[in-house]
Amino acid sequence: MVADRRFAEEFNDVEMFRYCEQCGRCSSACPITGINDFNIRRLIRHVELDYIDEIAASSMPWFCAACGRCEDACPNGIKILDITRALRARGPQDQVPEIPPCIKAWPAGIDVPGYLRLIAQGKNDEACELIMERAPFPGILGRVCTHPCEAACKRGEVNHPIAICAAKRYAADKAGDLSEMINTVAEDTGHRVAVIGAGPAGLKAAYYLRKNGHRVTVFEARTKPGGMLRYGIPYHRLPEEVLDKEIEQILSLGIELKLDTKLGDTFDIDQLKQTGFEAVFIAVGAQLSKKIPLEGSDLPDVLWGVDFLVQVSEGKEISLKDNLVIIGGGNVAVDVALSALRLGAKNVTLACLESREEMPANPWEIEMAREEGVEMLYSWGPKKILSQKGSVTGVDLVRCTSVFDDQGNFCPFFDDTTKTIDADQVILAIGQASETEFCKDFCFLDDGGGLPVKNGLIAIDPQTQLTEMTGVFAGGDVANGPGTVIDAIAAGRRAAISIDKYLGGDGVLKFEKWNSECAASNPAYDGKREPGFAELKRVDPPILPVSQRHGGFPEVDLCYSDEAVLKETHRCLHCDLEICLAKKEPVSELENLD
């Protein structure tokens, strides 16, 4: 049998396979028995019966999470994980995953296992630097990321996924002075790039382009940078000081920032090119409220979701009445509800088309709203806003029986069931829109014509972010549609690569070091699990008690303690190192077990 050299010693006694009594304790203990037809007993039996090649060539060994629970349960002490790893090493290379599932699920491809290991070793500065190679907003993302990496985390098959997002936030909060790493840039290329929009996509592109030695100027229409990070996310989720710190770190590379300068108003694309900018990246975001025609929506006490959040961020005085009804089921609606409570609203009701399971808002944000007293009305849509003498008195709702059609497209259907709820004020928070949604064929017109618009978005090549205008790229919400912060960051990275190539570079982003052969820097990894490793429970970070959340915007999700984060990061399965073990040279002398 072929096995990795690292495990050769474990296979010296070829009688090990005969020790199995087929008692079934390993399969009973295995957290994924029955999933993908996986069964530890059958795997061991097939090895015994010399079906080694068949098993090794299948994907079955890769179903195993290598948690060690089966070994803890085995009465004869069989090292079942070593058998699994040996089968992986024997199998064809096309069965070996390219990257761990957590990295694959994250649009920007951060080396998640790598920074978890560094945190577990107490190396917070190095962990933060590793994160910033792919995402220059570790503290921001550690607070607002939707963490798709956790949904993909293989540890979730064992018991609970690693708290990856909270660990990222810990690394950022605990890191020291990273200015040397941050301010290291390549030799000046002399090329000039204009980035329009200081949101996550624009800042990410600017960061990488400057790192590659290009001269970058960022143009921002508002009085402060940050885009929807600043104007769309309430401070109880993302404190302003965290946002300011990480934006300043990016600008400290030598990026010029020009505020109160709006594309199509104070300048146009042709003017940028005439003043020496060779490439332009448009990342103006979706910073307007999506609107629908609704009877009563023009009343004075009817507000729109994104506009409301912007006013809150700008510190404007907002008069809220006692009975507030919010229409919408996304993150904008939930953020509006939670912000309204902090501004003194007494009774907040949120009505949405979707069922609880269908709501597009983050599940943990919905639960927070419920904890804080927001009344949730699922599967109800607005019919009209009621009023008397110009003042809002209530909202007529109609029951929504389905939100999507058979093809999964948004196509709500209603029955004849209606209900009326009292309201003094209504906020319609049904999503975000960009200025391009109001353009018919072209947007940002100039003497050269304009940028083509398709379905309200700037038309681009999805791979390169290039528009039909020479040297002009676009990305983020204005080109890809409203998405998450990490989607915008990924778009900024793609644009930076394409712009670098357009300017004559190789498209390789400098100072990105991670690659799939990461085990080379971890030669001591042997894959052994201490007894009880599989039973280690998730350790969540602390949160602010509900009784302390209102009357201001104190941060709700708090930072790990040093002790707690070590316990949590120690739970990582190190899927990247497991992959690398399978790529090691097999041991020929173990070809034949007979």
DSSP string computed for 135-201? -S-HHHHHHH---HHHHH-THHHHSS---HHHHHHHHHHH----HHHHT--PPP---EEEEE--SHH
Paired with 240 in beta bridges are none
pTM recorded for the entire structure:
0.89
pLDDT over 70 percentage in the chain: 90
Region of poorest pLDDT, from 145-159, 179-193, 346-360, 571-585? 571-585
State residue 336's pLDDT score: 97
Q: Which one-letter DSSP state was computed for residue 471?
A: T
Region of poorest pLDDT, from 98-107, 321-330, 498-507? 98-107
pLDDT at position 4 over 50:
no
Q: Mean pLDDT over all residues of the chain?
A: 88
Q: How far apart are CA 250 and CA 136, in angstroms?
A: 7
Helix (H) or strand (E) holding 43: helix 40-48
Helix (H) or strand (E) holding 101: helix 101-105
Most confident of 189-198, 440-449, 515-524: 189-198
State residue 408's pLDDT score: 84
Q: Does 125 or 588 have the greater pLDDT score?
A: 125
Looking only at the bridges linking them, the beta strands covering 432-433 and 410-422 are: unpaired
**Cβ atoms < 10 Å from Cβ of 103:** 23
Phi, psi at residue 11, to the nearest 5°? -105, 5
State residue 435's pLDDT score: 79
Q: How far apart are CA 128 and CA 427, in angstroms?
A: 39
Most confident of 11-15, 424-428, 438-442, 516-520: 424-428
Helix (H) or strand (E) holding 376: strand 375-377
- Stretch 121-147: mean pLDDT: 92
What residue type is assigned to position 317 of the chain? E
Q: Domains, the chain, ranges and CATH?
A: 5-96+581-587 (1.10.1060), 101-174+537-570 (no CATH), 185-287+434-502 (3.50.50.60), 289-431 (3.50.50.60)
**Cβ atoms of residues 334 and 305 within 8 Å:** no
What tens digit of pLDDT does each residue of 114-127 get?
999 999 999 999 99
- Stretch 523-540: mean pLDDT: 88
State residue 521's pLDDT score: 53
What tens digit of pLDDT does each residue of 190-224 get?
999 999 999 999 999 999 999 999 999 999 999 99
What tens digit of pLDDT does each residue of 50-73 get?
677 778 888 888 889 999 999 999
pLDDT at position 455 over 70:
yes
Helix extents (H) in 410-547: 477-480, 485-502
Q: Does 42 or 280 have the greater pLDDT score?
A: 280
